[in-house]
């Protein structure tokens, strides 16, 4: 894979690819403390649900490196990390896993330090995500028949995960199988993850793509140019409702109206069985300046208010298939989602 990894551990530092500068500037920022990492997550240096989880795991290693056996100080850093972005459940899932390691650690153990144990867990979280991406790619690509065009939203690729991506792992694998004709890449306002990140990833792999304005999706679907919409997720509730980048919900409605299939690809670390439906998923509201300004220049009249939710919720009934690393759930519902828990156990 040609896309650089968004998250690297190097010696005693965490290196994050600054995704705000892509695709024209490939530059890593180095972090030695968890607070700095929390700010980087909030500021979109690193983004995408699985990548946020992996980053937070390594940030807990930084906290332990900095604070030694001062449990209160490590805990305070974990709270700051947990407050960085509220929607991607992978963040909380990864922090829970790290907390378990730390709570189980016996400080009298001189053989293996707490930092070493935490680092092993962070590496495991990253490696498991890489393997999950590969499995999702295989499972999802089985639905894509020869000659298909797909439409993607946001970036759920290598830049958002520890592997080839979630939805983009499916796109990559469909291309390798010779089944993909072309991918339409929704631009994804206001951060333009489609135009800047997904287009860059696909170009590096030689996968044919065409960037589309978001408002043109209906026209593409009506013209019969798209067979599958394929998206990632930030959180999936127990009934199969899906929170993902704002704009996903309207795409799902358009897809159903035009007979286009709708696939959600997400690892089980993105499934939140504790929330019974999508109404309960916390939706991040981002600053109005992200909408009223473009590339640092004001475009709206001074003082304009802006509605800028980062995510929306797609009801399960609009999803044709939810692909995870363990199984594919067709027409997800509270009942059919139970298959996930069986595979997980
Ligand atoms: O605001 P972002 O860029 O973090 O939003 C990312 C998305 O919505 C992705 O689709 C989702 O996190 C899945 S990434 C595999």
249-275, pLDDT tens digit by residue? 999 999 999 999 999 999 999 999 999
Ligand 1 mean position to 234 CA, how many Å?
6
Ligand 1 center to 36 CA (angstroms): 21
pLDDT in tens, 222-255: 999 999 999 999 999 999 999 999 999 999 999 9
Residue 147 has pLDDT above 60, yes or no: yes
CA dihedral (213, 157, 233, 256) positive or negative: positive
pLDDT at 110 > cutoff 70: no
Average pLDDT over residues 154-169: 98
Whether 8 has a pLDDT exceeding 80, the answer reads yes
Q: Which residue, judged by its Cα, is nearest atom 6 of ligand 1?
A: 48
Nearest protein Cα to ligand 1, atom 8: 245
- Segment 22-31 shows an average pLDDT of 98
Question: How many whole angstroms from 112 Cα to the centroid of ligand 1?
Answer: 36
Mutate to test the pocket of ligand 1, among 17, 40, 46, 47 (most ligand atoms within 8 A of CB): 47
Tell me which residues are annotated as active site. Answer: 234
Give the model confidence (pLDDT) of 315-331 as tens digits. 999 999 999 999 999 99
Query: Would you call 87 helix, strand, or coil by DSSP?
Result: coil
For the chain, the straight-line distance linking the first and the last C-alpha, in angstroms and rounded, comes to 32
Q: How far is the CA of 216 from the centre of ligand 1 (A)?
A: 21
The proportion of the chain whose per-residue pLDDT surpasses 70, expressed as a percent, equals: 98
CA-to-CA separations, 344 to 90, 274, 324, 325, 340, in angstroms, rounded: 16, 15, 11, 10, 6
Look at residue 69 in the predicted model and tell me its pLDDT: 81
Interval between CA 232 and ligand 1 midpoint (Å) = 7
Tell me: pLDDT of 343 over 70.
no
Could you tell me which residue, 175 or 2, shows the higher pLDDT? 175
Best substitution site from 42, 156, 283, 311 to test ligand 1's pocket, by max atoms within 8 Å of Cβ? 156
Contact 265, 140 (CB under 8 A): yes
Q: Tell which one of 92, 154, 190, 198 to mutate to probe ligand 1, the residue whose CB is within 8 A of the most ligand atoms.
A: 154
Q: Which atom of ligand 1 is nearest to the CA of 167?
A: 15
Residues with a CB atom less than 6 Å from ligand 1: 47-50, 88, 154, 156, 160-161, 165-166, 193, 232-234, 244-245, 310
Atom of ligand 1 nearest to the CA of 311: 8
For the chain, list the strands marked E by DSSP: 7-10, 13-17, 28-31, 148-152, 180-186, 209-212, 228-231, 235-237, 242-245, 261-265, 271-272, 293-294, 297-298, 311-314, 321-323, 328-330
Say if strands 7-10 and 271-272 run parallel, antiparallel, or are unpaired: unpaired
pLDDT in tens, 284-305: 999 999 999 998 899 999 999 9
Distance 69 CA to ligand 1 centre (A): 34
């Amino acid at each position: 894979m040609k896309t650089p990894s968004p998250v690297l551990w190097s010696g005693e530092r965490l290196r994050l690819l600054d995704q705000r500068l892509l695709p024209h500037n490939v530059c890593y920022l180095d972090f030695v403390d968890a607070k700095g990492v929390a700010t980087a997550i909030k500021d979109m240096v690193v983004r995408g649900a699985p990548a946020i989880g992996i980053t937070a795991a390594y940030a807990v290693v930084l906290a332990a490196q900095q604070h030694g056996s001062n449990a209160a100080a490590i805990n305070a850093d974990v709270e700051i990390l947990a407050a960085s972005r509220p929607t991607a459940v992978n963040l909380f899932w990864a922090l829970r896993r790290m907390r378990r390691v730390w709570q189980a650690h016996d400080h009298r153990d001189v053989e293996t330090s707490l930092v070493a144990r935490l680092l092993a867990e962070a590496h495991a979280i990253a490696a498991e995500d890489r393997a999950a991406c590969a499995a999702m790619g295989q499972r999802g690509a089985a639905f894509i028949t020869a000659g298909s065009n797909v439409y993607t939203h946001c970036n759920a690729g290598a830049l958002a995960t520890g592997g080839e991506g979630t939805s983009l792992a499916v796109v990559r694998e469909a291309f390798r199988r010779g089944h993909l004709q072309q991918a339409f890449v929704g631009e994804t306002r206001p951060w333009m993850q489609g135009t800047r990140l997904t287009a860059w990833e696909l170009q590096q792999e030689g996968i044919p793509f065409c960037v589309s304005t978001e408002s043109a999706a209906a026209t593409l679907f009506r013209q019969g140019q798209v067979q599958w919409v394929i998206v990632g997720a930030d959180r999936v509730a127990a009934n199969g409702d899906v929170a993902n980048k704002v704009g996903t919900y309207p795409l799902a409605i358009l897809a159903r109206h035009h007979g286009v299939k709708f696939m959600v690809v997400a690892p089980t670390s993105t499934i939140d069985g504790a929330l019974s439906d999508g109404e309960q998923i916390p939706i991040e509201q981002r600053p109005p300046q992200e909408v009223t300004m473009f590339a640092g220049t004001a475009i709206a009249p001074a003082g304009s208010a802006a509605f800028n939710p980062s995510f929306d919720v797609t009801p399960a009934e609009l999803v044709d298939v939810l692909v995870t690393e363990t199984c594919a759930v067709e027409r997800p519902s509270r009942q059919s989602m139970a298959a996930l828990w069986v595979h997980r156990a």
